[in-house]
Amino acid sequence: MISEATRARFDRETAKYPVEQRQSAVMACLSIVQQEFGYVSPESEADIAAYLGIAKMAVHEVTTFYNMYNQAPVGRFKLNVCTNLPCQLRDGQKALHHLEAKLGVSMGETTADGLFTLQQSECLGACADAPVMLVNDRHMCSFMTHEKLNQLVDALRNEGVQP
């Protein structure tokens, strides 16, 4: 079920579009549920479909087409490291490998404590900031040297283990 607070956020998005084009808000609604629940579950898709008055499959098509929607639960912190060519030339690949070693997981995996999911990503549109990464879809971290990667992971781990 969608909470009143979530519904208010949905309402704010649908208000941008013509009344008969509420479907336009589907991407925003999906990103909102992902922010609140960590991923997009079939139940959330059904809720959004009912809210927008469209078919569940129309929502599912969107979830599965766009790279950033999590179709299954992920760690508390999802780390997406860009390794596309401009980043690769400035050690993007090495940043990913460094995180693999630091976290003890391979790309695509989640740490055993459930804190971190590490993923490779395509161009984030911040090529001059390389190495660059995205945390939980909404926070870009720039110029991520090995030292800064260590600081970031340690600080997030510290936050993550607190109740």
Provide the 3-class DSSP secondary structure of residue 23: helix
In this structure, the strands spanning 133-135 and 139-141 are antiparallel
Q: Is residue 138 near other proteins by the rule CB under 8 A?
A: yes
Q: Is residue 61 near other proteins by the rule CB under 8 A?
A: yes
Q: Residue 66 Cβ, how far from other proteins at the closest point, in Å?
A: 4
Q: Which of 9, 37, 41, 88 binds other proteins (CB under 8 A)?
A: 88
Residues 6+ apart with CB under 8 A from 90: 130, 131
Q: Is residue 24 near other proteins by the rule CB under 8 A?
A: yes
- Say how many C-beta atoms besides its own lie within 10 A of residue 85's C-beta: 10
> How far is the C-alpha of 8 from the C-alpha of 59, rounded, in Å?
19
Q: Residue 50 Cβ, how far from other proteins at the closest point, in Å?
A: 15
Q: Is 91 left (phi over 0), alpha (psi -120 to 50) or beta?
A: left
CA 128, chain centre distance (Å): 21
Q: Which of 8, 46, 57, 66 binds other proteins (CB under 8 A)?
A: 66
User: Of the ranges 1-9, 22-30, 99-107, 110-118, which one interacts with other proteins (CB under 8 A)?
Assistant: 22-30
Which residue ranges make up the site for other proteins (CB under 8 A)?
16-18, 21, 23-28, 30-31, 52, 54, 58, 61-62, 65-69, 77, 83-86, 88-90, 121-130, 134-135, 137-144, 148, 152, 155-156, 159
